[in-house]
Amino acid sequence: MKEWIKKHRHVTLTKLLGSLGAKLRGTWNYYGIIGNGRRMAQHAYAVNKALFYWLNRRSQKPSYTWRTFNRLLNRHQVPSPRISEKPSFGMTCQMELSLFDRLACGVLR
């Protein structure tokens, strides 16, 4: 993603953030399985950090603070990471289930 952002930093913000939103939406849908939340948050942070860096390099002076950058992401509806997998109680590999859920689905006896 860093290379893609660097390569497309000259594109207008609407097109850049629209494409980035589509890429991230696909990433969150594919990798949004139960137990992968921490890694997705790390990926989102790395993407936001790279985007912040390269957008601030577009002119001679810094264009954004983190506050204005977050407003920009919200305005263009860049998606945040989310778990898209539905819990199925037959799988024992789902590590983020609460203790109550594990007892209810028979994982812990």
- Delimit the domains of the chain by residue range: 2-105
Mean pLDDT, each 10-residue run in order, the chain (109 residues): 94 96 94 91 96 92 93 95 79 53 54
Render pLDDT for 54-84 as a digit per residue (tens, 0 to 9): 999 988 888 899 999 999 999 999 999 998 8
pTM above 0.85, yes or no: no
Instruction: Taking the CA atoms of 5, 9, 77 and 75 in sequence, report the sign of the dihedral they define.
Output: positive
For residue 37, count CB atoms less than 10 angstroms from its CB and return exposed for 0-12, middle for 13-18, buried for 19 or more: middle
Residue 90 confidence (pLDDT): 58
Residue with token string 């953030």: 17
Question: Where are any strands of DSSP class E within the chain?
Answer: none
